[in-house]
Amino acid sequence: MKTIFFGTPEVAVPYLEILNRYTEVVLVVTQPDRPRGRGMVITPCPVKETALKMGLKVLSPEKITDIEADLKAAGADYGIAVAYGQILKQHIIDIPKLGIVNIHFSLLPKFRGAAPVQHTLFAGETKTGVTAFWIDKGMDTGPVFAYKETDILPSEDAKTLFTKLISLGGILLEDVIEYIRLGQIVKIPQTKNIFTPQEDGSMFKEELPLPTYAPMIKKEDTILDFNNFGAETFFNRVRGLACGPHAKVITKINGKEDLLQIIKASLLEKNKQCPPNMPRGSVVSIENDGRILVKCYDSCIYIDIVRPAGKKDMTAASFANGHKIKPGDVIFY
């Protein structure tokens, strides 16, 4: 079958490779070439670079509507979109005969939007997955085609979870391609109850989750506050920001305020207690394993790895020792 691929960043490359393996990719659509790297040299995106190496036709318009005629001329049966980066209007969605399927890194309708992996971790979810859905005029609101689910381990952060979901999404895309080849087109509304007939003639009502949203990460999302963040919230925010921009805290050492990036944090072991009377933002202890224990809103949390401004990653203990910080000092705000 003939397909069009819509995608831009590195995470979308494996999906183009899969689509090209099983279908005839007649057109690849990406975001325009942008300045990248230290020299800000105009460079094609990863998907475009890959597509050109494959010998595929690539278009990179500023506006998708600029290539409407090319999309129609391609004569595609369906499209696949992965992290394309532009909203597709209904008249564009309708060009491929069957429509366009998007691969989204959450279990829709939860975490619709641009940053589903980050917000999934912010929320402390223990399960997530990848959803293939038919694009409509809304923001990730179209009917679900298929999905795959996976557990989130406490040790996972945005980096490792992205890697897992990219792999899982590849398996899902292979399923989608096969379903379409066989004519097994599925469209399940995201927000309506599903009624399934039972053997006794009754109907089982499956309540679908309410939609939640995952907007782009803003600067204010990265600033953590020991006075108002509990240990779980702090830990989940650090995990969710592991791909960057990283979590940051305000430090005040010898009267000087600065921003310190928190690269890794960990929760207090269940068999250990947090001193109840120490002020929030104070260093409780400096551990031999390189961590420091800090008092936060409702408990304590370990800070494992930090990145001071203009410096490389280091253990939190190395940072503390380098600034002659000792237990009891209040340095975090």
d(CA 130, CA 148): 5
What is the signed CA dihedral for 187, 190, 191, 192, rounded to 10 degrees?
A: 30
What is the residue type of 152?
Answer: I
Q: What is the pLDDT of residue 37?
A: 78
| pTM for the whole structure | 0.92
d(CA 99, CA 88): 11
The verdict on whether residue 189 carries a ligand-binding annotation is: no
pLDDT at 39: 80
> For residues 42 and 309, what is the distance between their CA atoms, to the nearest angstrom?
28
Q: Please write the tens of the pLDDT for every residue from 215-247.
A: 999 999 999 999 999 999 999 999 999 999 999
pLDDT of residue 38: 78
The percentage of residues in the chain with a pLDDT greater than 90, rounded to a whole number, is: 90
Q: What is the DSSP letter of 202?
A: -
pLDDT tens digits, one per residue of 122-178: 999 999 999 999 999 999 999 999 999 999 999 999 999 999 999 999 999 999 999
pLDDT above 80 (res 211): yes
Residue type, 209: P
Does the annotation place 173 within a ligand binding site?
Answer: no
Least confident of 34-43, 263-272, 291-300: 34-43
* Nearest in space to 143 (alpha carbons), one of 187, 99, 94, 194: 187
Residue 203 has pLDDT above 60, yes or no: no
* DSSP structure string for 29-51: E-PPPEEETTTTEEE--HHHHHH
pLDDT confidence bin for 204, thresholds 50/70/90? low
DSSP state at residue 278? S
Four-residue CA torsion sign, 58, 62, 64, 66: negative
Return the closest-CA partner of residue 101 out of 4, 189, 35.
4
Taking the C-alpha atoms of residue 228 and residue 240, their distance in angstroms, rounded to an integer, is 18
Q: Taking the domains of the chain in order of start, what are their residue ranges? A: 2-194, 219-322
- pLDDT on residue 235: 98
- pLDDT at residue number 193: 57
Nearest to 214 by CA among 74, 106, 295: 106
285 is in an annotated binding site: no
- Annotated ligand binding at 106? The verdict is yes
What's the start-to-end Cα distance of the chain, in Å? 58
Taking only the tens place, the pLDDT of each residue in 8-51 is: 999 999 999 999 999 999 999 999 999 887 788 899 999 999 99
Architecture of domain 2-194: 3-Layer(aba) Sandwich (3.40)
Answer yes or no: are the C-beta atoms of 267 and 301 closer than 8 Å. yes
Give me the mean pLDDT over the 289-312 stretch: 97
Secondary structure E strands in the chain:
2-7, 24-29, 34-36, 41-43, 58-59, 78-82, 100-104, 127-134, 144-151, 194-197, 203-206, 223-224, 247-253, 256-267, 283-286, 292-295, 300-307, 314-315
State residue 40's pLDDT score.
85
- Say what the pLDDT of residue 201 is: 66
The highest-level CATH class for domain 219-322 is alpha beta
Q: Identify whether the C-beta of residue 116 lies closer than 8 Å to the C-beta of residue 106.
A: yes
Using alpha carbons, select from 86, 133, 89, 92 the residue that is nearest to residue 111. Answer: 133
**What pLDDT shows up at residue 209?**
75
- For residues 81 and 88, the answer to whether their CB atoms sit within 8 Å is yes
Residue with the larger pLDDT of the pair 307 and 190: 307
Q: What is the mean pLDDT of residues 49-77?
A: 98
